[in-house]
Structure 1
Amino acid sequence: MNSETFHELSGGTPPPDILYEQLFSMTKQLNPLLCGHLGEPFGYVIRRNCTPQSSLNELYNYWQHYYPEAGRSYWSVRSWELLIWQPILIAITAVYGLSAIPPLQQIAQKLNNGLVAGYALPPGCWFKGNSPQLIVRAGAELNALTHSLLEQLQQVCTLRPKLAKSLLSDQLTSALARVPKISGSFTEIEIRAHLPLWLEAVQLPPRGMQFDGNQQLIRLSCCMHYKRLDGELCVNCPRPNTTPE
């Protein structure tokens, strides 16, 4: 999309449908599960302020049922990561792919068989600006959205805010690290310079974007996958690489 198209848009001007169409196309190319829709389709129950507690119980109980040996820490971490992965990728796709931000706080996410995949956005106004302005806006929307989702999730399970923020930081930083590989418009140097802006906007502690010898992002937190009978430590897990008891 060229600059002339965006010239007609402002923070308070409804966008043409093409912005939604392009966003939905881009996110689906990133991940086929990241399938977007316009409006409020049936079954998209994960929302900022009004997720039914029964839906959050359904999400948590799914992982508890199929992986009882993994324990509460895995069930809660897995639930949290599923709640936040789509908004993070949507925000980054919008900033770096469209130079505009949709009404992200109004996202509705689909829950089906323990998986949060698929999203819907209502018709609304998009925000446009330069990269720092977009990052501040997208980060603020992500912060408000994830803060509310965490409060709702804590009604059904225990997840420490510090751990939740570390997991959020890992997902956000990992998604940013992919931008230079899938976009010809932004270099790794530019994305590294943007990272502090994102972290501040989402109200996350400062961190770097370091990689190990396998070019895997060095994480701050553990996803607890190793606690499953079929699980193991991730190659970039911050835990010592020893066989769990």
Structure 2
Amino acid sequence: MNTAVYAPQTANLLAQIHQLLPRLSGRLNDTAAGTFRLGCRNNINDIKQLYEHLQQQHPEGGKIFWSCRTWALLIWQPIYLTVLSVQLLGKAVSLNRFGIITDRSGVAAYSLSPRAVYTGKPSHLVLFAGRQIKATGDHIYTCLREITPFNMKLAAKLQTDCLVSALLFQNTHYTQNSKNELDRLIAEWLAAAGLPDCQATFYLNQTRRTFGFNRQACCQEFRLTSGSLCDACPRLPLSERVYRMTQTESPLHAES
């Protein structure tokens, strides 16, 4: 792994990532109020405010929904950023001092430190990135547990779903790998991040190389008044999930 490059390269990476996925809005070394910064334990209130906002917005959801939704909002940015950086830009991102910028309604953006970008061999980048995802998830989980009980196995399964969704996103829109290549890539990333396996992918459209996968956990949105089971929900029989996703060719990416 080479020495970290400086702020201009990091700023350039932020711009490239935003082009690849506009919902990923990154800032360089943002220290504004409302930033939950990894490695700091004095800003748990930012997570608490997000959790309480979900309580107020969706009182019918209950603790399981509030916990799962808070977790999903906090983990998707670092996971997608890490995957897209390695797979599409050939660079790994250090999530040390990664900032999750929140507001009352949710997660608004993210922040990277100026020396956040690393280069190296592809296999080394995946290993480094996987460890970053694990460390990030561990820290967020520890902070969330101080606010509400949250099952560790459920958290890990939701992380798996998010990571695989990120890999499917880059494959569908950019790399177009074969099923065998994609399955190997997913297994490599999950192993690097210390996450449970997703039991491989399946074709939604073989000609277009679009894929679905066996989601490991329910997002709990069916508990909302306006909610329902999503097409990929593991509460549905696998045959029903495959049928629904085949009709829409949608792997239901997790960038939400």
TM-score, length basis structure 2: 0.83
Any idea what SS the aligned residue of 1:157 has?
coil
Q: Indicate if the aligned counterparts of 1:11 and 1:126 stay in contact, CA closer than 8 A.
A: no
Which residue number corresponds to residue 7 of structure 1?
none
1:221 partnered with 2:204: no
Q: 1:157 to 1:169 in 2, by over 3 A?
A: same
Q: 1:212 to 1:100 in 2, by over 3 A?
A: closer
Q: Indicate if the aligned counterparts of 1:44 and 1:108 stay in contact, CA closer than 8 A.
A: no
1:156 partnered with 2:152: no
> Quick one: which amino acid aligns to residue 144 of structure 2?
L
Which residue number corresponds to residue 93 of structure 1?
84
Q: C-alpha distance in 1, partners of 2:111/2:69?
A: 22
Which residue number corresponds to residue 11 of structure 1?
2
Any idea what SS the aligned residue of 2:111 has?
strand
1:32 partnered with 2:22: yes
Which residue number corresponds to residue 59 of structure 1?
50
Q: Indicate if the aligned counterparts of 1:11 and 1:125 stay in contact, CA closer than 8 A.
A: no
> Quick one: which amino acid aligns to residue 32 of structure 1?
P
1:47 partnered with 2:43: no
Uncovered stretches (5+) of structure 1, i.e. residues with no partner:
1-9
Q: CA deviation at 1:101?
A: 1.3
Q: 1:53 to 1:125 in 2, by over 3 A?
A: closer
Structure richer in strand, relative to its length: 2
Instruction: Provide the aligned C-alpha RMSD in A.
Output: 2.2
Any idea what SS the aligned residue of 2:22 has?
coil
Q: C-alpha distance in 2, partners of 1:41/1:171?
A: 27
> Quick one: which amino acid aligns to residue 79 of structure 2?
I
Q: C-alpha distance in 2, partners of 1:147/1:15?
A: 27
Q: 1:186 to 1:211 in 2, by over 3 A?
A: closer
Residue by residue, what CA displacement relative to the aligned partner does 1:148-167 show, whole Å, maximum 9, x if unpaired? 10000010011100000000
TM-score, length basis structure 1: 0.86
Residue by residue, what CA displacement relative to the aligned partner does 1:64-85 show, whole Å, maximum 9, x if unpaired? 1111111110000000000000
Q: C-alpha distance in 2, partners of 1:16/1:121?
A: 10
> Quick one: which amino acid aligns to residue 231 of structure 2?
V
Aligned residues: 232
1:78 partnered with 2:69: yes
